[in-house]
Amino acid sequence: MLDEQQKTDLLKLDLAKLLELKFNARSYVATSRVEAWCLYIRDAAVFKKCYSKSGATGKIKADKGYFSLVNRPLQSLVSYLADNNYKDKLPVTDATGYAGKVSMDLYADTKNLCAVDAALQRYGLGIKRDTIALPMLVIERRGDHD
């Protein structure tokens, strides 16, 4: 069985081959400083209260003005916010460093990240715009820089 890094490396290799064969392009990952929405820990003591302690089945529920995580990683929230704020054109990233699972109920319009920031406060979290270093996929046509 492949671990997560091996899966990622295999996907990168497959994508690189596809881009080269179909589009005469090369691809690579480069770290760039970009503006992004960053989920961060505002108050660690408060945040610990939403750690999942049970082995309950993970659930996500989303409705207008409401988003719920039960025993899910924060990446589930980050992915949902990124999908719902694609018009903003800024990436949404998890800068908490927490890899465990959480449970929380957010009463906010998930298309309004300022409202989400206010709702996250009760869980010791926040989301803000910041300039950070992120790995970015770079695609270049062959011949452009060869």
CA 8 to centroid of chain Cα atoms: 16
The secondary structure of residue 76, as a DSSP letter, is H
pLDDT by residue (tens digit) across 49-100?
A: 999 877 778 999 999 999 999 999 999 999 999 998 877 789 999 999 999 9
Which of residues 54 and 124 earns the better pLDDT score? 124
pLDDT of res. 25 = 93
Q: What is the pLDDT of residues 92-118, one digit of tens each?
A: 999 999 999 999 999 999 999 999 999
Res. 144 pLDDT band, cuts 50 70 90 = low
Going edge to edge, which strands form the sheet with 66-73? Answer: 59-63, 66-73, 101-106
Q: How far apart are CA 20 and CA 142, in angstroms?
A: 8
Question: If you ran DSSP here, which 8-state letter would residue 58 be given?
Answer: P
Total-model pTM:
0.80
Q: Environment class of residue 106 by beta-carbon count within 10 Å: exposed (0-12), middle (13-18) or buried (19+)?
A: buried
What is the pLDDT, as a whole number, of residue 125?
A: 98
Question: 6-53, pLDDT tens digit by residue?
Answer: 988 898 889 989 999 999 999 888 999 999 999 999 999 999 999 987
Q: Collapsing DSSP states into helix, strand and coil, what is residue 129?
A: strand
Query: Tell me, what's the pLDDT at 73?
Result: 95
Confirm if 69 and 103 have CB atoms less than 8 A apart: yes
Tell which residue, 99, 67, 102, 81, has the closest CA to residue 37. 81
Which pairs from 140-144 meet CB under 8 Å and 24+ separation? 140/25, 140/26, 140/27, 141/23, 141/24, 141/25, 142/20, 142/24, 142/25, 142/26, 143/24
Q: Can you give the pLDDT at residue 87?
A: 79
